Structure 1
Amino acid sequence: MHSMWKTLLVALLVLVAGCSGGVGGDGATATQTTTVADTADGDTTNGDTGESGDSSSSEDSSSSMAFDFNQSWDEQFREGQYYRYEITSPNLNDTATYEWEVLSATEDEVTIRTKVDAEETTSEQTVTASRDQLYSELSGSPSGSIATVGFNSPYYSGVDGETLEVGDGWEASGTNGNVSFTVERTSSYAGLDCAYFVVQMNGSVFWESCVSPESPLPGYMAFYEEEGDDEPVFEMTLVEYRPGN
């Protein structure tokens, strides 16, 4: 499992560093544009996206807040949902940004707009697909690579159908050693309250994320390349959020 994510991460960092990818798979309506970013200083606007969310984050290791996750919490996309993340990595010269906006959402399908802004390259993509096929239809593009690593980790399935509080967790043993999942605290990113969990492999942090049943995307995620690393090799922090309708 770890080697698979390392392979995905290498491909992702190449894409984010400035290489464009293809458009999503068959069966979706998708468009993508890649342009050279304007190097002039200026404010960034997001069209008719309304007021910005609180970009601050906070944490509370003693909170008694409980989070009830149903089996489809990570597919609950709503029209008007907007996320903007900052992406940091030792392999990137500068901080990249990633936007995810839900343009429309029905019971049958969802239309999203994504945008990656990294160094001198901007890649924007719009995809329409069923809720459970969005990540598949984004595959092959810079946006899809980020979504796969940041939002589609198998570790998120560990919260499906669970009610989680600080201190909850589990541990399992396998051929590669021991893996543990622990909710360490509650946090808030850009106004999104979430349960902050840590996945450890053989006692070393491998994956961190902060998830909420109110949002299909996390408030934060971090991936560590090697056992014993002190700093993540890839990190996404939510800095602007709107919950939608």
Structure 2
Amino acid sequence: MSAIIRSPPLLFPATARHTATVIFIHGLGDTGAGWAGAVENWRRRQRLDEVKFILPNAPAIPITCNWGMRMPGWYDIHTIDGNAESLRKNEDETGILVSKEYLHGLIQQEVDAGIPPERIVIGGFSQGGAMSIFSGLTAKYKLAGIIGLSSYLLLSLKFADLVPKPAPNQDTPIFMAHGDADQVVNHELGKKSYDLLKGLGFNATFKTYPGMGHSACLEELDDIESFLKERLPSKAEKSDGKTEL
């Protein structure tokens, strides 16, 4: 197996004292830069100025549904036809686990730099959302939150056996969001993944955006900003509402 060549993540340093980190993972064929505009959108009201954003870049790997041609991907995909079961067939378990280890390494780097795990959120879109749910729930640290957009649960048939016991993120809030017009990752698969996680006792919520395809909308981006603000409140504000000098 050839060595995996990775570009370094795109970084958005905190604009104030760094007290929290968000790792946000792009989808198939994209790069971290594809979500730079969203980060700027989340910051536009200066409510997340203590947060460092890390936008990792997937390596270029052969993708079966792309006639084997290389493109940025976190794992191989055999079929994308909108069918709820197609994405779960012939899952690239090796690729998924390799990407999980890489993302766990990014979390570890932040912990080593002094950011408490409970001040770290991992999230993503499509493949990136699937990786964020999988990596977040299999992490050894309790995180602040997990975001999965237009995504689904990877290795669902054996997922329960892959989660640490006891599960550090059993109660960690998971925000799942999906458009009901998604022709790439079927809304039904997203909802089934949510139902499975709820059945395993995880603290997941699921929001449907009517008419949205395999993309993001402004309402969804605002909902993510609100989730991040709730999960990563400013450390510069005391409980009495006064700001520390």
Verify same fold: TM over 0.5.
Answer: no
Q: Under a length normalisation based on structure 2, what TM-score does the superposition of the two structures give? A: 0.26
Q: Under a length normalisation based on structure 1, what TM-score does the superposition of the two structures give? A: 0.26
Structure with the bigger percentage of strand: 1
Structure with the bigger percentage of helix: 2
